[in-house]
Structure 1
Amino acid sequence: MGFSKANEQRKRVLTAIGNMRHQLGLVLGSARAARESAEIELARLKLEQQIVRVGIDKADEDADLAEAMRHPLMTGVRDQLKATQAAFHADAATVPARLHELVGRLAPGPAGRAWTEWLGRAGTGTLTVPPLWRIGSSTMDSAGPFPVAVPLLDESHLAITSAPRSRAGVEALIEGLLLRVLSSMEPGAVRIHLWDVGQLTAVLPNLYPLSRTSAVTIYDPTRLEDLLDELAGHIRRIHAQTMQAGHTSLRSLRETLGQRTEPWRIAVLFGNGENFSPEAMRELRRIAGGAVAAGISLIVVDLPTILGGGVENIRLLDETHAVTSMTGSALVVDLDPPIPPTEVSGAAARLAEALITRQGGPRTFDDLLPTELGQESSAVELRAPVGFYEGDPVEVVIGDGTPHALIGGPSGSGKTNFLYAMIGSLAARYPPSELALYLLDFKEGVSFAGLAPGRRDKSWLPHARLIGVNVNTDREFGLALLRFLADELRRRSAAAKEHEVTDLAGLRRQDPDGKWPRIVAVIDEFQYLFAGRDTVTNTATALLEDIARRGRAQGIHLVLASQDIAGIDAFWGKPAVFEQCTLRIAMPKARRVLAETNNAAFTAPKWHAVLNHDSGVAHGNQLAHVPDASSREIFMALQQKLWNLYADDHQRPRLFDGSVSPLLDQAAEYATLSPEGHPRALLGQAIDVSDAACAMELSPAPGRNLAVLGTAIAEALSIMDAAARSLARQYHPDDVEFLVCCLVDRCAPVVDQLVENLHADGHQVVRLTEDDLREKMVKLAEEPAEHSRILLLYGVDGALPALEAKQPGEFKSGLDHFRTVLKLGPSRKVHTLGWWRSTARLKDTLGFGGTDDIGVWAALDVQGSELSAFAAGQVVHWSPRPGRALFFDRTSHVVPEVMIPFDRPEF
């Protein structure tokens, strides 16, 4: 049984081995057949090579070939080769015609025709660029010549390798290409950069007539980095511009917009086979990789590097022949004959004249303005031309990329004119709903005053919300503007958070009905904000830093201008502000506005400005001629149009003129006063963005009395007068009694006039003499009040001797009763408004009871060190200045604020 089982297993094994041998036989047989077939195919290919090498028609004359072709396995080899040859010749015969048609279509006009047909004529092309540019011709066997062209603008770079003694041929080749480009495009559309490591001058000298324009720029042979930095800067700037617009190349952006936004650039670099630093070669390769997308093409000659991006190669065999990567190494290109040097020079001169003619001479302010006013949206950014460079507009861009601007220029350099050009160009493009302007001029002048309504011209710039002039001594007004911007920043940030967005564009999409214009705050001579080592400087620095950092996202932008180096020095040590001002504008001879190594402002001609959107780095320079914009009749013509268009829907701007004292009768709050609520005594104008008054409320709370401090008679009388007149408007005649005592003889006429005015309004007025005071104080301290009483005391310190005297048998003096009136009077509807000519006399009046009974004071010619006791013990930074007072109300102020007493023209 076991033997039978083992026998069966043996049979199965033998059967399997037999099957395997059979399969191996089949595989080996197939392999032998495949090898034999391959050997036959190889033999046929070798025979084809031998026949081609000898020649198909001469193969029969070779005995060995004839015998091989008679072999049965080689039958048909020669016939197949003859058929292929015939097909090739038939196709090759059509190549010249097809290439002529192709080059004629892709290299139209000067790009492909003979130079005699176009040399020296200015082109008209603005958007479309010929894909190919002719360099010569070639011949394919007997099929006839055909044109050879290479790609360049928006397509490729060129790498040229010279042959010995072929420099003239290389220059002729490049001159021909450049002239074809310049004659195909409109004047100014192409700019050429020339650099030769071995030539201090004479780099393509026949093109030098163009060097007096922007069409040709020649670089120092020892400063390759200057050219590389400039090209790298253009690439970065254009890349940012195209990426922000949602495009990957300048060509794509140009095709979408339907207009040219940047000139094309061709950089020609003669390397002469020399070795360069590894850093320079790496930078050149980086530039080549991104240049074509930025509208920049490189033509490099004998440079020891392999360029990135698309590159076509031309290798000269001698002065007139070359091979190219376009045609392959088997075809020799006959380069087009050189254009005679005199013809090249003459053509360059005519092209230069065409460029100058196209510029049309000096441009005017009207050329900055759009055809239709107010058609642009500021959701993404603000963009407007401010000048021209060789006929092309040069724009200021304010947005997320360049959120804030720094402008510098010495006196007479055109800084004010530039500001007007920028303001006018922006206002013409964006309606007031898209752009809000806050304009502040610290220097002694009225640069922006014309933008507010005046006596002769009632129009104003509708975009302006605030205009401040002559504020060189009112640094607090600049601080008030910064506080306003900080508050607006917080408001917008809260709205953005509510709508779950991060920038102004998103907020406007989510809240289309909200009013979210971009805000531009222009502060001329901003360095005055940092003029002192005090609270104003510290607070201004903190606010500026916050606005500079966070303002960009919420559409709040700063334009800071200064005419001397001190203004720029104010930023050293404040990098949070300085570094955010990525837009730099330098007027001629301006210092330290641009980067330290950028000296473009020193060579800028008059009425020009150097614009730089790259933090002042040299590659970002744009020179612009700024037309006259600040002459009154020029700007007023635009302002009148804007006023007619928008004034009905927008309020006039708030005008703050530090050289003019306000009038009480013209104060907005004075006009609205009426006998309702707690009366408020208006004391002066607040230095604030809003047209507000400094006031004290006459509530029944303790300390609601006013002390005017100082010897400045005009200001003291003004404050007292404004307080009395404003209170009179808030009481019905029978509801108040004014008790008036004047203890300064020279002030009597003014006080008499006030009393007369109060009588005319129907109010009860009681005149008190010095002798009446003691008795009146006793009654005020003891008698119940039937109605409100306002005690107006002029020169209180003059009455102290009489008040201090005691009558025989009395325990209290008149001064004691006066102190009682100050302490308890407000709760009994008795409020004292008094003028003390010194703080010491006020302290004597109050005695040991402290200063709480004077809750409100206005200090005039009193030093801050004397006021600490009346300001809760805090250090008071105050140096008296004419026409200003320091105002403090214990119930509403943390620190005192500066106010402007109302003017009294009749005094």
Structure 2
Amino acid sequence: MKFAKSSEQRGRVLTALGAMRQQLGLVLGAAQAARETAEAELERLRLEQRILRAGIAHADPEDLRHPALSSVQDRLNAVHTAFYAEASTVPGKLRQLVAESAPGAASAPPSDWLGRVGTGKLSVPPLWRIGSSTVDSSGPFPVAVPLLDESHLSITTAPKTRAAAEALVENLLLRVLSSMEPGAVRVHLWDIGQLTAVLPNLYPLSRTSAVTVYDPARLDDLLDELAGYIRRTHAQTMQAGHHSVRSMREALGQRTEPWRIAVFFGNGEDWSREQLRELRRIAGGALAAGISLIGVDLPTMFGGGVENIRLVDEQHAVTSMTGQDIVVDLDPPIPAVEVSAAASRLADALIAKQGGPRSFPDLLPAELGRESSARELRAPVGFYEGDPVEVVIGDATPHALIGGPSGSGKTNFLYALIGSLAARYPPSELALYLLDFKEGVSFAGLAPGRRDASWLPHARLIGVNVNTDREFGLALLRFLADELRRRSAAAKEHEVTDLAELRRQDPDGHWPRIVAVIDEFQYLFAGRDTVTNQATALLEDIARRGRAQGIHLILASQDIAGIDAFWGKPAVFEQCTLRIAMPKARRVLAETNNAAVAAPKWHAVVNHDSGVAHGNQLAHVPDASSRDVFSSLQRRLWELYSNEHERPRLFDGAHSPILEHVPAFAALSPGGRPQALLGQAIEVEEKACAVDLFGAPGRNLAVLGTAAAEALSILDSAAKSLGRQYRPNEVEFLVSCLVDRCMPAVEHLVQWLKGEGHLVSQPQEDELGACLQQLVEGPTGHPRILLLYGVDAALPVLEAKKPGELKSGLDHFRTVLKQGPTRDVHTLGWWRSTARLKDTLGFGSTDDIGAWAALDVQGSELSQFAAGQVVHWSPRPGRALFFDRSTHVSPEVMIPFDRPEF
């Protein structure tokens, strides 16, 4: 049994081994077959490769007769036929492509364009011809390379081909300069091996801005200049919402910056590590800024897009555009005489186009008021070598600082800026608030006058001769702060963050950009008082938050004191990223930036980068402030917009307003609560300082000080304004003048009141006590106004008591002051000193004088009459300090009305 079982197992093993041998045989056979097939296919591919390299027409006959190739020979013949049929059309297609992409001088023979002046274009040819090539009998085709807005060029020479490389660059530059309008392209030339003769045939253009030559030692200057231009241009394009000069140009439909080509002729030697690093940085951002670089034998590759040209010999080259297998026949050099003559004609055309110094009308657009201020304000203020230099006011450059000594042209620059802005933006897009602290009338001509009834429709406020009225500058800042809060609330309501979005969400709202120009702004900080403290806080707040709501400050100063005022106020100074320095200005630009020192007269250094040197733009500012220059534009704007916009408010610190010309006086009429108008409030809106005379204790007025003219004016204005609010015989004025020299003026007022039909009594000095007693003890009857001139002069008489009397006239007067307002009796009196007012009031409360106007009285004497608060007041002619307990937190300065001589 055991033997049988063992034999059975052996049989199964042998059977399994036999099956495995069979399977292995099948696998090995298949592998052998696959190997033979692969070797045959490899041999066929090698044969096919040899034939393709040599071409069917030149292949080895043995290869063509090889059995392995018989299956694909027909396919190769078909491919060969199709390829050469297609290849025969390539030159024609390339000729058509170059004709479309490189029109005119970009590809035409020099005889068609050499010496001709280009015309204005926004788009530039993407390709520029350098030579031709041939691939078969179908004829040559042009070879062109990209340049402006498209690519940089890197040229590598072979031995003895330097002259050919220079001719290649010269031909390219001449094609570009002849295609574009004069001044549209600027060329910068640097050659490490040539002190002066860098492309000498183009030197006639070096007398213009078209070509600038740098000697070998000025490589760093050229790199710095290009880097600064890229930074400045990038900032401007980003502010305008574009990613490149090209996209901004296409969006605006006009050229905003010239194209630039920087040519670097090297010799293969290494540069310093810093120079190479700077060159690569420049190359990376140059194309977006409209700069193309051409490098010859440089020790590094450019960053960004670059095309390579490698010279094979003096007449041939290979390019990365066509590939290494196509040799380019370079265009022959243009004769030097013809190049020089053409350069001269281009230079003459550019000089003629620039036309020497530009005038103010050249700053103005062809059509007035066509721009929108939703994103920013942009306007040219001058010219550099014929090209306009713009000022941009927007989110990135929200506020401007302008500096220049007396006579440097600061006022002229302001007029050029205001005029250029007003010409581009309608009053619905731009609101101007103009304030001049110096003694002068720089902006007065922008308001209607006797000789010229026109005004600048964009101006909402014009303040002149306010050097002694710092409070008016503070009032302007308060107004701007209120407007800022109003706009911020609207932005929050519409869930937006800036003016452009607010205008889009609220198209029916009135949201123009506001520009406040404050000349000699340092006067705001002239004293250590509440005006300085409040102005500093408001200015810092507006500077920080104004940009988002379209409120912009332009602060100007003619001396360094104006700039020193900013030390310790970085919130203001740092927000003034737009800096304009007039010749010899100091501290306006960055400390290491001395461009203003060398600036010629009638020029300005415009800098949008906080005064850093790379942001400098020199601009010749045309005459904008002479007689009839600005006024002609103003009249055009006035005729265009005056029917839709009110005249601006003119505040002239050198002139006091006339009561009868004040809107508040004209609006008075009988009925309602009587108001006594005292003077003009120093506010942005035209308002009058007034005292409400209602039936409450303390509704009396005291005028304090020895300034007779102002005291007479205040009481005169109060009486006349009250007279307009009562009907005839409805009110009685009791007028007593105790100052002899004021009698004529008081008598003139009495006659005016009588002429208006009012009851007027004139108690004499010895009758005053009885009059006051009658006011206390008599019936009320009708309202009565007690007008007392020089109360202090009557005190000796009022203090005296007659035998048997318990009370003196002064006691009755105190009772009138205390109880009179509740009985419809109000006292308007003039005391020539605060001490005599105190004597009048006695030990009673000063609350019986609810309102007062101080003239030549020091602030330290007024504290007890101002609820105990410290009063900062230094008397000055033509001004008064006004305080009303019922309405004021602190006293305010007012201007007494002008009382014309009778």
* TM-score category, normalised to shorter length: over 0.9
Q: Which residue of 1 aligns with 2:466?
A: 471
Structure 1 residues 100 and 651: CA distance shift in structure 2, 3 A: closer
- Report SS of the residue matched to 1:308: coil
Q: Which residue of 2 aligns with 1:686?
A: 681
CA deviations on 1:18-46 (whole Å, 9 max, x unpaired) are: 99887776665554444333323333454
CA deviations on 1:692-746 (whole Å, 9 max, x unpaired) are: 1111111222222111111111111111111111111122333322222211111
Match of 1:532 among 506, 527, 533: 527
Structure 1 residues 27 and 191: CA distance shift in structure 2, 3 A: farther
TM-score (norm 2): 0.92
The 2-side partners of 1:890 and 1:17 are apart by 124
Match of 1:378 among 362, 366, 373: 373
Q: Which residue of 2 aligns with 1:520?
A: 515
- 1:48 Cα deviation (Å)? 5.6
Does 2:154 correspond to 1:159? yes
Match of 1:642 among 633, 637, 640: 637
- 1:58 Cα deviation (Å)? 7.9
- 1:164 Cα deviation (Å)? 4.2
The 2-side partners of 1:719 and 1:13 are apart by 136
- Report SS of the residue matched to 2:379: strand
Q: Compare 479-488 and 731-740 and name the one that shifted more.
A: 731-740
Match of 2:792 among 788, 797, 810: 797
Q: Which residue of 1 aligns with 2:848?
A: 853
8 Å Cα contact 1:242/1:249 also seen in 2: yes
Q: Which residue of 2 aligns with 1:612?
A: 607
8 Å Cα contact 2:131/2:330 also seen in 1: yes
Q: Which residue of 1 aligns with 2:36?
A: 36
- Report SS of the residue matched to 2:629: helix
Q: Compare 332-341 and 666-675 and name the one that shifted more.
A: 332-341
Q: Which letter maps to 1:702?
A: P
Match of 1:834 among 802, 825, 829: 829
Q: Which letter maps to 1:172?
A: A
Q: Which residue of 2 aligns with 1:387?
A: 382
TM-score (norm 1): 0.92
Match of 2:210 among 188, 199, 215: 215
Q: Which letter maps to 2:205?
A: L
Match of 1:488 among 479, 483, 490: 483
Match of 2:289 among 253, 273, 294: 294
Does 2:738 correspond to 1:762? no
CA deviations on 1:788-807 (whole Å, 9 max, x unpaired) are: 22121111111222222233
Q: Compare 14-23 and 412-421 and name the one that shifted more.
A: 14-23
Does 2:871 correspond to 1:876? yes
CA deviations on 1:619-656 (whole Å, 9 max, x unpaired) are: 33333333332233232222222222222222211111
- Report SS of the residue matched to 1:443: coil
Structure 1 residues 8 and 575: CA distance shift in structure 2, 3 A: farther
Q: Which letter maps to 2:860?
A: S
- Report SS of the residue matched to 1:733: coil
8 Å Cα contact 1:92/1:143 also seen in 2: no
Unaligned runs of 5+ residues in structure 1 are: none
Q: Compare 558-567 and 367-376 and name the one that shifted more.
A: 367-376
The 2-side partners of 1:13 and 1:544 are apart by 105
- Report SS of the residue matched to 2:729: helix
Does 2:842 correspond to 1:844? no
The 1-side partners of 2:40 and 2:149 are apart by 51
The 2-side partners of 1:554 and 1:40 are apart by 80
CA deviations on 1:290-334 (whole Å, 9 max, x unpaired) are: 322332211122333332222111223444443322233334434
Q: Which letter maps to 2:768?
A: L
- Report SS of the residue matched to 1:516: coil
8 Å Cα contact 2:48/2:69 also seen in 1: no
Q: Which residue of 2 aligns with 1:557?
A: 552
CA deviations on 1:177-220 (whole Å, 9 max, x unpaired) are: 11111111111111112234455543333323222222123346
The 2-side partners of 1:286 and 1:864 are apart by 63
Q: Which residue of 2 aligns with 1:626?
A: 621
Q: Which residue of 2 aligns with 1:781?
A: 776
Structure 1 residues 591 and 194: CA distance shift in structure 2, 3 A: farther
The 2-side partners of 1:23 and 1:243 are apart by 75
Does 2:178 correspond to 1:183? yes
Structure 1 residues 162 and 444: CA distance shift in structure 2, 3 A: same
Q: Which letter maps to 2:709?
A: A
- Report SS of the residue matched to 1:649: coil
Q: Which residue of 2 aligns with 1:904?
A: 899
- Report SS of the residue matched to 1:852: helix
The 2-side partners of 1:8 and 1:462 are apart by 121
Match of 2:450 among 455, 464, 471: 455
CA deviations on 1:835-884 (whole Å, 9 max, x unpaired) are: 11111222222222242221211111111122122112222111111111
Does 2:122 correspond to 1:122? no
Q: Which residue of 2 aligns with 1:657?
A: 652
The 1-side partners of 2:69 and 2:823 are apart by 134
Q: Compare 727-736 and 674-683 and name the one that shifted more.
A: 727-736
- Report SS of the residue matched to 2:401: strand
Q: Compare 254-263 and 487-496 and name the one that shifted more.
A: 254-263
Match of 2:426 among 412, 431, 436: 431
Q: Which residue of 1 aligns with 2:541?
A: 546
Structure 1 residues 700 and 56: CA distance shift in structure 2, 3 A: closer
Aligned residues: 900
Q: C-alpha root-mean-square deviation of aligned residues, in Å?
A: 3.3
Q: Which residue of 1 aligns with 2:811?
A: 816
CA deviations on 1:244-289 (whole Å, 9 max, x unpaired) are: 6555443344334443232221121234334344444334333323
Q: Compare 45-54 and 583-592 and name the one that shifted more.
A: 45-54
Q: Which letter maps to 1:765?
A: V
Structure 1 residues 515 and 47: CA distance shift in structure 2, 3 A: closer
8 Å Cα contact 1:230/1:618 also seen in 2: no
Q: Compare 178-187 and 799-808 and name the one that shifted more.
A: 799-808
The 1-side partners of 2:537 and 2:389 are apart by 34
User: Identity rate of aligned residues, in percent?
Assistant: 79
Does 2:499 correspond to 1:504? yes
The 2-side partners of 1:257 and 1:11 are apart by 97
8 Å Cα contact 1:784/1:828 also seen in 2: no
The 1-side partners of 2:189 and 2:226 are apart by 12
- 1:470 Cα deviation (Å)? 1.0
CA deviations on 1:444-497 (whole Å, 9 max, x unpaired) are: 111211121112222222221111111111111111111111111111111111
Q: Which residue of 1 aligns with 2:575?
A: 580
Q: Compare 270-279 and 789-798 and name the one that shifted more.
A: 270-279
- Report SS of the residue matched to 2:878: coil
8 Å Cα contact 2:785/2:825 also seen in 1: yes
The 2-side partners of 1:253 and 1:11 are apart by 92
Structure 1 residues 169 and 647: CA distance shift in structure 2, 3 A: same
- Report SS of the residue matched to 1:768: coil
Q: Which residue of 2 aligns with 1:702?
A: 697
The 2-side partners of 1:270 and 1:725 are apart by 86
Q: Which residue of 2 aligns with 1:260?
A: 255
Q: Compare 275-284 and 448-457 and name the one that shifted more.
A: 275-284
- 1:55 Cα deviation (Å)? 8.9
Q: Compare 788-797 and 98-107 and name the one that shifted more.
A: 98-107
Match of 1:442 among 412, 433, 437: 437
Q: Which residue of 1 aligns with 2:395?
A: 400
- 1:566 Cα deviation (Å)? 2.0
Q: Which residue of 1 aligns with 2:319?
A: 324
Structure 1 residues 41 and 462: CA distance shift in structure 2, 3 A: same
8 Å Cα contact 2:604/2:618 also seen in 1: yes
The 1-side partners of 2:23 and 2:124 are apart by 67
Q: Which letter maps to 1:131?
A: P
Q: Which letter maps to 2:302?
A: L
Q: Compare 751-760 and 769-778 and name the one that shifted more.
A: 769-778
